[in-house]
C-alpha cells in the first residue's frame, strides 16, 4: 500500500517518489535545479538534532535542505 507523507517523516534510506512540492515558485525552481521534482524517486539519508537540515539523495548526488523545505516535499512511500 502506498501512503503520502512529507519527506521529513520518511524512514532514512527508504525510496520516496515525489508527488507534490507545496511551495512557491522560488522553492520549486531551486528544487528543480537540483533534480528534485514530481515523479522523481529520492531518499532521505539523515536528519540532524532539533529539526536541523535534511540530507537527501537525488540520483546519487546529495543535497542538504532545511527542515521546513523538506516538510513541503510530499512523497509517496510503500508501507
Residue appearing with cell numbers 515523479: 39
DSSP three-state, residue 15: strand
Kindly state the cell numbers that stand for 26. Answer: 522560488
The CB-of-3 to other proteins minimum distance in angstroms stands at 25
What is the spatial distance between Cα 78 and Cα 2, in angstroms, rounded to a whole number?
A: 4
The CB-of-46 to other proteins minimum distance in angstroms stands at 5
Q: Quick one: 9 or 46, whose CB is closer to other proteins?
A: 46
Please give the residue ranges that form the binding site for other proteins (CB under 8 A): 26, 29-30, 32-35, 37, 45-46, 48-53, 55, 58-69
Q: Quick one: 42 or 79, whose CB is closer to other proteins?
A: 42
Question: What single DSSP character describes residue 11?
Answer: P
The CB-of-76 to other proteins minimum distance in angstroms stands at 18
Measured at the CA of 35, the angle between CA 33 and CA 37, to 5 degrees, comes to 100
Amino acid at each position: 500500500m502506498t501512503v503520502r507523507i512529507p519527506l521529513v517523516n520518511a524512514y532514512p534510506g527508504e525510496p520516496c517518489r515525489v508527488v507534490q512540492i507545496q511551495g512557491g515558485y522560488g522553492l520549486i525552481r531551486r528544487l528543480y535545479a537540483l533534480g528534485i521534482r514530481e515523479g522523481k524517486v529520492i531518499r532521505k539519508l539523515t536528519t540532524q538534532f532539533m529539526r536541523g537540515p535534511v540530507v537527501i539523495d537525488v540520483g546519487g548526488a546529495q543535497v542538504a535542505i532545511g527542515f521546513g523545505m523538506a516538510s513541503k516535499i510530499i512523497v509517496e512511500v510503500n508501507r
